[in-house]
Amino acid sequence: MLIAIWEIISRTGSVPSYILPAPSIIIYSLFSNFSLMGRHILVTVYETLVGFIISVFLGIIIAIIMDGLPFVKKVIYPLLITSQTIPIITLAPLFIIWFGYGYLPKIIIVILICFFPISINLLQGLGSVDIELINLLKSMGASKYQIYKIVKLPASLPSLFSGLKIAATYSIMGATIGEWVGGKDGIGVFMLRAKYSFATDKVFGAIIIITVLSICLLKLIEFIERKSMPWVAYEKNDTLGEQI
């Protein structure tokens, strides 16, 4: 209904098309310019995936270190919190100056955005594991590695995937912000060129692409989550059976 109202308002000329183009014009522009956008989409996807994968490894490693070494947590945790108080848009120009206009500054921005929710959620999950299970393994002579492998990491998977979902929704945005500040290719660059040309329909088309890419990455995380935690599905089915 909202899209229909939007279409009517735009078609009647109540709002100029360069300010608010009709949805049908946006869809037509998206398909007609998709071949031109293809190269930019691939660049943004590459920057996002590389930065996201690196942030996953760093987030997991740092969270495990902070959980296993409390004195390290006292040092690193405040730094993590402080890093999130700095708007990423203010750091992006510095990265462009330091690392140039290539892929590296955009990847670093994605890492900074995705790293925090992954590490903090996993750290919280590791800290909320049932202490009785840990004590049971300790009484049986289990090593720290065995405790993490058998109890802590499996029990903290829901928290980890919660952080991954949050990071996934922001990852495309991080790469786009880096491209806005400086770059030769990418969805962000395409949006800037369209904005300067007052091609609002192309800007909306780029927004649709960013939204679709974010949703696809989120759905990929959810698929991996279902495969990594099959017992969650079983628990839901058991609960549904009891309710019936």
Residues 109-128 pLDDT 10s: 888 888 889 998 998 888 88
- Cα 74 from Cα 216, distance rounded (Å): 37
Tell me whether residue 7 is in a domain. no
SS percent in the chain: helix, strand, coil, step 5? 85, 0, 15
Label residue 54 by pLDDT band (50, 70, 90): very high
- Structure confidence at residue 50 (pLDDT): 92
Question: Range of 105's domain?
Answer: 38-229
Label residue 49 by pLDDT band (50, 70, 90): very high
Residue of 220, 215, 222, 213 whose CA lies nearest to 43: 213
pLDDT tens-digit profile of 100-110? 778 888 888 88
Tell me whether residue 33 is in a domain. no
pLDDT tens-digit profile of 213-242? 999 999 999 888 888 877 665 555 555 455
Of the chain, the percentage scoring pLDDT greater than 90 comes to 7
Of 179 and 58, the one with more pLDDT: 58
Average pLDDT on 180-188 reads 80
Count of domains forming the chain: 1
Tell me whether residue 29 is in a domain. no
- Specify the amino acid at residue 163: G
**Count of beta carbons in the 10 Å neighbourhood of residue 87:** 9
Tell me whether residue 18 is in a domain. no
- Cα 155 from Cα 127, distance rounded (Å): 10
- Structure confidence at residue 56 (pLDDT): 92
Tell me whether residue 121 is in a domain. yes
- Structure confidence at residue 233 (pLDDT): 55
Domain CATH for 44:
1.10.3720.10
Average pLDDT on 52-60 reads 92
Label residue 55 by pLDDT band (50, 70, 90): very high
- Cα 234 from Cα 224, distance rounded (Å): 16
